[in-house]
A and B are shown apart, each in its own frame.
Chain A
Amino acid sequence: MKKQWIGFSLIGAALVALAAVFAQQQSVLFVSTQFTPIEEAQRMRQVILKDFSGRVEFIPEDNAPFTSRILSEAKAGKVNVSLVGGLHGDFPPLIAAGAMDSVDDVMAQLKDRRFSPTFVSLGKMGTGSQYYIPWMQATYIMVANKQALQYLPTGANLNTLTYSQLKEWGANIQRATGKRLLGFPAGPRGLMHRFTQGYLYPSYTKSAVSKFRSDEAQRMWSEFKGLWQFVNPQSTTYDFMQEPLLSGEVWVAWDHIARLRDGLNQKPNDFVAFPAPIGPYGRGFMPVLAGLGIPKNAPNRDGAVALIEYLTRPEVQITTLVENGFFPVIQAKLPDNLPQGTRMAADAIARQAQSNVALPSLLPVGLGARGGEYNKVFQDTFARIVLRGEDIRRVLDSEAINLRRVMNDAKAPCWSPDPVSEGPCPVN
């Protein structure tokens, strides 16, 4: 009987000791709005995070439960999450509620990373201190069939193409081939509205909302309408540009990298990838930027810092690209065995983000369910001006009323590149 008691106490003591060891090597609870598809989450856990020295519990969550989880933990004063990963637009509600810690100290440790300065400043969220560390990016770029290159206007360089040169290019191609071979994804599921919101408007007005009906916007639309006469009219049925590029229906196209990737990877020798054109205010472009932040009172801040350091290492950034298709936010040397199409896209993305004319504009922030109607304003404006040939001034004035209603309903303040606003972003 006695012997049994001794045995039990020994086992008990061993268990307590083991628990103490585990408690010291506490894991980092990492919650993210990215990699929610089960395969991506698995690749994150099994491949990307494999070489991290500490223990990580990676939990992807949809946007709404993600936000309410962080907010309610902060409110309850019992924080479990140590690291937060989300798109730029996921952060404002958390910062507004005071749930996020400044990560200036982490940024200072990562001096050697060579982050794109544009992204670092976006991570400050318009304040003096860093709220997230850039993590990974996707974006929209241009792709051209190599056959089109011979018709580039004289003096034009793909990497510094302007909108008027793009128009001239289209005109040259049409003159030579008799076909309209520029292409845009203006189909029902296409992302044409992102082109107007994030590329055209910022390039010509340094704004998307507040100068929606400005004289600059009027000039922009009239120039774009001029460009559209060289665009393949089937563009209004294109959802993804990789198919028309592959079939040869289109030679020069703009789209989201994920909707071009198959084309680039299937026939890398037929295509070139390059940054979006430049307008009077610079190169408006829309980075889909994800960042890493630390909640206030995080239970394992040290672990979170170590994990940020790990995820921004060049080799891990490249693993993330290869495994889950998001591109690096640092200047990283790409390995030779990367698929050629992916490498071309990565180069174009880097040139687009790093250049001194870069004018990043964000995916809409804080619109919630109104995001759809916000997009509709831009889609309808495009359809009325470009496809139906309505008077530009009249269209801008009437659509501005719709835009104003969306902004007021959502009570959304301005986001980059519109200047900071008090209250809903105004449509001047």
Chain B
Amino acid sequence: MRSERYIPYLLVLPSVIFLLFLFAWPLVEALLLSIRGSEGWTLEHFQRMAADLYFKDALKYTVLLAVVVVPLQVILALCMAMLLGGISRGRDLFLYVWTIPLGISDLAAGIAWLAIFTERGYLNSFLQALGLIHEPRLWLSYETPAMLFLAVVAAEVWRATAIVFVILVAGLQLIPKEYSEAAEVFGATPWRRFWRVTLPLLMPSLQVALILRTILALEVFAVVVALGGRNLPVLAGEAYFWYNAYQNPGVAAAYSVLILGISVLATLLYLRLMRPRQEVVA
């Protein structure tokens, strides 16, 4: 009997070791890298990061992207998941088509969207064919930051809504049909049923989706670099440039620590704001 008490721990052990090796260790290394200089402990890397030409823009655009993209994706995914619930025939087909972007790497997605928005791209050809413009317009230059931002939002929404969608579909399937039926018996309208029954019960899935997507949005990189180069700097991109192009791992680590900090903060915020209400738990 006694030995059985240890079985769960034994079963968790491999994943704990895995996490320690592949997440905790690099994390500690990155932390150390960011605060260690050639002569002992230092805040120099953080100071250089903060003084860098692209720092303010990178911070601004990263947060702005997360704030714009994540809610859009959640609303879209929620609509798609609810629609899917109403379909009886061909449901699987929709499910598969909608999740195709999941299988595409973010760099490939960025390049695909670049082919749409570039000067000789599909968008300009399309608009020209319709007679709406006479010659190609520039969408992705440093002179059109708003358009550049919108292009990145479009690409990100297209690319990463599917992951939210999958989580929400799974969440919806976990909700027993009886609740909705009971509400229907008492005369609740579909809208009221969604608002009062489905949504509260979906809260745990929403929470997971939000946390996951926000963290990923803070790490956005390849799509932005493919579409905008340095015109739309983001934090992860700056970390990459400092590590790779400028060969300064210290400042790169400072950037990654900053991303980590913001991610942790966002996660704590979600956990606090989206605590399941007591009656739902009961």
A residues neighboring B (CB under 8 Å): 178-179, 186-188, 232-234, 236-237, 247-249, 369-373, 375-376, 380, 383-384, 387
Instruction: Give the distance in Å from the alpha carbon of A323 to the alpha carbon of B174 in the complex.
Output: 63
Instruction: Give the distance in Å from the alpha carbon of A232 to the alpha carbon of B229 in the complex.
Output: 15
Tell me the number of A-to-B contacts counted with CB atoms below 8 Å: 58
Contact partners of B9 in chain A: CB under 8 A? none
Closest chain B residue, CB of each to CB of A244: B119
- Contacting pair B53 A384 (CB below 8 A): yes
- Contacting pair A236 B53 (CB below 8 A): no
Report the minimum CB–CB distance from B7 to chain A (whole Å).
51
Known: A178-B135, A234-B138, A387-B142. A372 touches B247 (CB 8 A): yes
Contact partners of A380 in chain B: CB under 8 A? 53
Please pick, from B118, B119, B229, the residue contacting A188 in the complex, using a CB distance under 8 A. B229
Instruction: Give the distance in Å from the alpha carbon of A178 to the alpha carbon of B134 in the complex.
Output: 12
Instruction: Give the distance in Å from the alpha carbon of A380 to the alpha carbon of B231 in the complex.
Output: 12
Known: A236-B141, A383-B230. A247 touches B248 (CB 8 A): no
Instruction: Give the distance in Å from the alpha carbon of A380 to the alpha carbon of B135 in the complex.
Output: 32
Instruction: Give the distance in Å from the alpha carbon of A376 to the alpha carbon of B241 in the complex.
Output: 10
- Contacting pair A234 B141 (CB below 8 A): yes
Closest chain A residue, CB of each to CB of B228: A237
Instruction: Give the distance in Å from the alpha carbon of A178 to the alpha carbon of B230 in the complex.
Output: 26
- Contacting pair B229 A236 (CB below 8 A): yes
B residues neighboring A (CB under 8 Å): 53, 118-120, 135, 138, 140-143, 225, 227-231, 241, 244-248
Contact partners of A369 in chain B: CB under 8 A? 247
- Contacting pair B248 A373 (CB below 8 A): yes
Contact partners of A248 in chain B: CB under 8 A? 120
Please pick, from A188, A234, A376, A384, the residue contacting B246 in the complex, using a CB distance under 8 A. A376
Contacts A233-B141, A237-B228 given; 14 further ones with Cβ under 8 A?
Answer: A179-B135, A186-B229, A188-B229, A188-B230, A234-B138, A236-B142, A236-B230, A236-B231, A237-B231, A249-B120, A371-B247, A373-B246, A375-B245, A383-B230
Closest chain B residue, CB of each to CB of A179: B135
Q: List 20 A-B contacts (CB under 8 A).
A: A179-B135, A188-B230, A188-B245, A232-B138, A233-B141, A233-B143, A234-B141, A236-B141, A236-B229, A236-B230, A236-B231, A237-B228, A237-B229, A247-B120, A248-B120, A372-B244, A372-B248, A375-B245, A375-B246, A383-B230
Contact partners of B245 in chain A: CB under 8 A? 188, 372, 375-376
The 4 closest A-B pairs by CB, nearest first: A233-B141, A372-B246, A372-B247, A237-B229
Contact partners of A179 in chain B: CB under 8 A? 135
Instruction: Give the distance in Å from the alpha carbon of A373 to the alpha carbon of B135 in the complex.
Output: 40
Contact partners of A234 in chain B: CB under 8 A? 118-119, 138, 140-141
Contact partners of A247 in chain B: CB under 8 A? 119-120
- Contacting pair B247 A373 (CB below 8 A): yes
Contact partners of B225 in chain A: CB under 8 A? 188
Closest chain B residue, CB of each to CB of A384: B53
Residue of A186, A188, A372, A383 with most partner-chain B CB within 10 A: A188
Instruction: Give the distance in Å from the alpha carbon of A232 to the alpha carbon of B138 in the complex.
Output: 9
Instruction: Give the distance in Å from the alpha carbon of A372 to the alpha carbon of B250 in the complex.
Output: 14
Instruction: Give the distance in Å from the alpha carbon of A387 to the alpha carbon of B57 in the complex.
Output: 14
User: Main SS of the interface on chain A?
Assistant: helix
Report the minimum CB–CB distance from B60 to chain A (whole Å).
15
Instruction: Give the distance in Å from the alpha carbon of A80 to the alpha carbon of B231 in the complex.
Output: 51
Report the minimum CB–CB distance from B113 to chain A (whole Å).
12
- Contacting pair A233 B138 (CB below 8 A): yes
- Contacting pair A237 B241 (CB below 8 A): no
Closest chain A residue, CB of each to CB of B227: A237
Instruction: Give the distance in Å from the alpha carbon of A126 to the alpha carbon of B143 in the complex.
Output: 45
Closest chain A residue, CB of each to CB of B120: A247
Report the minimum CB–CB distance from A105 to chain B (whole Å).
40
- Contacting pair A233 B248 (CB below 8 A): no
Closest chain B residue, CB of each to CB of A235: B141
Report the minimum CB–CB distance from B94 to chain A (whole Å).
35
Instruction: Give the distance in Å from the alpha carbon of A249 to the alpha carbon of B246 in the complex.
Output: 30
Closest chain B residue, CB of each to CB of A237: B229
Report the minimum CB–CB distance from A375 to chain B (whole Å).
7
Contact partners of A232 in chain B: CB under 8 A? 119, 138
Report the minimum CB–CB distance from A177 to chain B (whole Å).
9
Instruction: Give the distance in Å from the alpha carbon of A387 to the alpha carbon of B225 in the complex.
Output: 18
Residue of A179, A234, A237, A371 with most partner-chain B CB within 10 A: A237
Report the minimum CB–CB distance from A387 to chain B (whole Å).
6
Contact partners of A188 in chain B: CB under 8 A? 225, 229-230, 241, 245
Closest chain A residue, CB of each to CB of B134: A178
Instruction: Give the distance in Å from the alpha carbon of A188 to the alpha carbon of B53 in the complex.
Output: 15
Report the minimum CB–CB distance from B218 to chain A (whole Å).
20
Report the minimum CB–CB distance from B22 to chain A (whole Å).
27
Report the minimum CB–CB distance from B47 to chain A (whole Å).
13
Residue of A232, A247, A372, A380 with most partner-chain B CB within 10 A: A372
Instruction: Give the distance in Å from the alpha carbon of A243 to the alpha carbon of B246 in the complex.
Output: 26
Instruction: Give the distance in Å from the alpha carbon of A237 to the alpha carbon of B138 in the complex.
Output: 12
- Contacting pair B229 A187 (CB below 8 A): yes
Instruction: Give the distance in Å from the alpha carbon of A233 to the alpha carbon of B245 in the complex.
Output: 23
Closest chain A residue, CB of each to CB of B114: A237
- Contacting pair A249 B119 (CB below 8 A): yes
- Contacting pair A237 B140 (CB below 8 A): yes
Instruction: Give the distance in Å from the alpha carbon of A148 to the alpha carbon of B192 in the complex.
Output: 66
Closest chain B residue, CB of each to CB of A247: B120
Residue of A178, A186, A234 with most partner-chain B CB within 10 A: A234
Contact partners of B230 in chain A: CB under 8 A? 187-188, 236, 383
Instruction: Give the distance in Å from the alpha carbon of A249 to the alpha carbon of B219 in the complex.
Output: 32
Report the minimum CB–CB distance from A218 to chain B (whole Å).
19
Contact partners of A186 in chain B: CB under 8 A? 229
Instruction: Give the distance in Å from the alpha carbon of A387 to the alpha carbon of B230 in the complex.
Output: 11
Report the minimum CB–CB distance from B124 to chain A (whole Å).
11
Contact partners of B247 in chain A: CB under 8 A? 369-373
Closest chain A residue, CB of each to CB of B245: A372
Report the minimum CB–CB distance from A214 to chain B (whole Å).
22
Report the minimum CB–CB distance from A330 to chain B (whole Å).
35
Contact partners of A236 in chain B: CB under 8 A? 141-142, 229-231
Report the minimum CB–CB distance from A7 to chain B (whole Å).
63
Contact partners of B143 in chain A: CB under 8 A? 233
Instruction: Give the distance in Å from the alpha carbon of A370 to the alpha carbon of B245 in the complex.
Output: 10
Contact partners of B142 in chain A: CB under 8 A? 233, 236, 387
Residue of A179, A233, A248 with most partner-chain B CB within 10 A: A233
Report the minimum CB–CB distance from A423 to chain B (whole Å).
19
Contact partners of B241 in chain A: CB under 8 A? 188
